[in-house]
Amino acid sequence: MKTYIEKSNALRSFVFFREIFLDIARETPEVEVESLYADAASAALITRPEHFQVVVTENMFGDILSDLAGATAGGLGMCPSANIGDRLAYFEPIHGSAPDIAGKGIANPVSQIRAAAMMLDYLSETEAAGMMEKAVWKAFESKRVELSNAGGPVGKMTTAIQAIQDEMRKL
């Protein structure tokens, strides 16, 4: 399922964006698509997050909705993102570089590790990608990585990274 999120009932420019999305969607009829207004999508992200697989939107709503979704999953430090074009792609945590906490050792490394797993999957290295994802969740299951109320790892970031590396070695 691909979900296009917009607000054409308030911002007429989104009508054009929706038409482009639907034109491109017709090229892959095997992929189910839908369109939601941003306010309805916000509620759905909270009440049924498992519904969303791929979200297509412009930057403003993407920033707002990714922060909302990240908060439901333990904080922004849990969420990877991908920007995929026709020829190139890049992968990063949804929070970007987080300059406000740079150098403090409190950033959650999970989003960067999961972004690397997404990149590996994109590069058809699905086994390696799966191992990285599995190691992240095993580190949480074993309680070697725990999150504070603020969404960062309890303890030092390097400890969290080491715990995930240890889990990868076990796989």
| Confidence (pLDDT) at 94 | 82
Mean pLDDT, the chain, whole residue set: 88
pTM comes to 0.73
Q: What pLDDT digit, counting tens, does each position of 50-106 carry?
A: 899 889 998 899 889 988 888 888 888 888 888 888 899 999 988 767 788 888 777
The two three-digit tokens of residue 23, written as one number: 């034109």
Confidence of residue 159 (pLDDT cuts 50, 70, 90): confident
Residue 118 in contact with residue 129, Cβ under 8 Å? Answer: yes
Residue 80 in contact with residue 111, Cβ under 8 Å? Answer: yes
Instruction: Return the exposure string of 47-80: e unless at least 16 CB atoms fall within 10 Å of the residue's CB, then b.
Output: eeeeebeebbbeeebbeebbeebbeeebbbbbbb
Where do the structural domains in the chain lie, given as residue ranges? 1-72, 75-171
